[in-house]
Amino acid sequence: MQREQKQPVLITGSTSGIGLAIAHTMARAGHAIMLHGLTSPEEGEDLQRQFRSEYDIACGFSNADIATETGCAQLAADTREALGNPGILVNNAGVQHTAETHEFPAEQWQNILAINLSAAFFLTRDLLPDMRANDWGRIVNISSVHGLVASQQKAAYCAAKHGLIGLTKVVALENADRGITANAICPGWVETPLIQPQIEAIAREENIDIEAARTQLIGAKQPLPHATNPEAIGELVLYLCGEFARTITGTSLPVDGGWTAQ
Ligand SMILES: NC(=O)c1ccc[n+]([C@@H]2O[C@H](COP(=O)([O-])OP(=O)(O)OC[C@H]3O[C@@H](n4cnc5c(N)ncnc54)[C@H](O)[C@@H]3O)[C@@H](O)[C@H]2O)c1
């Protein structure tokens, strides 16, 4: 028999990196988990099996591509079918592309805006009415330090992540009287596959090894020279979804080794 289930959680992009770490943390705390990401049904099945047996929770999976409104609607429908209405939504899926603005490919611009920003809007819009009907909900948007400050070559990513913070604030204000909070987390460098291409590019360009390139990438922005462990983001999401955080809403919380304190 499964242990008593807490609110179901939909975490976009939870087959890898930060999203997967959030899923583990929330599952360990007893939440039913909707896993999601661009991975094969077989890998999705394996992950679900692992979560069910390790944490004794209900677990669903969808590989809907959320680059479109239709894909977001599919993900919401898959979640309801697997677990019922999720009281917690973590908009985490994100992609990156780096290039100078004057040569930024239009297709990459559209894709980054669609996945990092519009998908969060479509899913929030879809799930809010049930949260409002229950007078309870938690929305956590994984933005970035690039939602607060800029870096060169990240026009689309910075635009999307700044936009996500704006969306977070509006949702927080509109639902403050309904027991629903909305917050953004703004990580600096986190140890995940997303930052690998940037490390490899430095190693190639400077003709140095991967470890030296990692140190250079992190140290160029963060006074505290360590990448954040993805589990640390999971623990913060868990806190924001708990009762002690009921008055924390509309915030953008940096987890960035001092990056934005400068
Ligand atoms: N890694 C970092 O240093 C860092 C720093 C700040 C913010 N972030 C943000 O954290 C979030 C997670 O990043 P990560 O480093 O774990 O990335 P990751 O590449 O490890 O994982 C990204 C996830 O998003 C999913 N995804 C991507 N495109 C999708 C699409 N079209 N449809 C459905 N799913 C899709 C992938 O399948 C994967 O599960 C992103 O929003 C990222 O911008 C990361």
Domain segments of the chain: what residues? 6-191+229-255, 192-227
Residue 235 Cβ inside 6 Å of ligand 1? The answer reads no
From the CA of 170, how far away is ligand 1's center (Å)? 23
User: Which protein residue's CA is at the shortest distance from atom 40 of ligand 1?
Assistant: 94
Structure confidence at residue 21 (pLDDT): 98
8 A C-beta contact, residue 160 and residue 184: no
Query: Going residue by residue through the chain (262 aa), what tens digit of pLDDT does each one get?
Result: 555 669 999 999 999 999 999 999 999 999 999 999 999 999 999 999 999 999 999 999 999 999 999 999 999 999 999 999 999 999 999 999 999 999 999 999 999 999 999 999 999 999 999 999 999 999 999 999 999 999 999 999 999 999 999 999 999 999 999 999 999 999 999 998 878 888 999 999 999 999 999 999 999 999 998 999 999 999 999 999 999 999 999 999 999 999 999 9
Residue 37 Cβ inside 6 Å of ligand 1? The answer reads yes
Structure confidence at residue 198 (pLDDT): 85
Residue 19 Cβ inside 6 Å of ligand 1? The answer reads yes
Structure confidence at residue 199 (pLDDT): 92
Structure confidence at residue 3 (pLDDT): 58
Residue 217 Cβ inside 6 Å of ligand 1? The answer reads no
Residue 108 Cβ inside 6 Å of ligand 1? The answer reads no
Catalytic residue numbers? 157
Ligand 1 atom closest to the CA of 230, numbered from 1: 16
From the CA of 177, how far away is ligand 1's center (Å)? 31
Structure confidence at residue 5 (pLDDT): 65
Angle between helices 230-240 and 17-28 (to 10 degrees): 50
Structure confidence at residue 193 (pLDDT): 81
Structure confidence at residue 183 (pLDDT): 99
From the CA of 9, how far away is ligand 1's center (Å)? 17
Burial 111-135 (b: 16+ CB within 10 A, else e): ebbbbbbbbbbbbbebbbeebbeee
Fold of 6-191+229-255: Rossmann fold (3.40.50)
Read off the tokens for 126: 């879809």
Residue 195 Cβ inside 6 Å of ligand 1? The answer reads yes
User: Which protein residue's CA is at the shortest distance from atom 41 of ligand 1?
Assistant: 94
Residue 115 Cβ inside 6 Å of ligand 1? The answer reads yes
From the CA of 131, how far away is ligand 1's center (Å)? 25
Structure confidence at residue 215 (pLDDT): 92
Residue 79 Cβ inside 6 Å of ligand 1? The answer reads no
User: Which protein residue's CA is at the shortest distance from atom 4 of ligand 1?
Assistant: 190
DSSP-derived secondary structure for 61-84: EE---TTSHHHHHHHHHHHHHHHS
Q: Give how far Cα 233 sits from Cα of 22, 147, 206, 227, 239, Å.
A: 7, 16, 31, 12, 10
DSSP, res 154: B
Q: Which of 68, 122, 190 to mutate to test the pocket of ligand 1 (most atoms within 8 A of CB)?
A: 190
From the CA of 13, how far away is ligand 1's center (Å)? 6
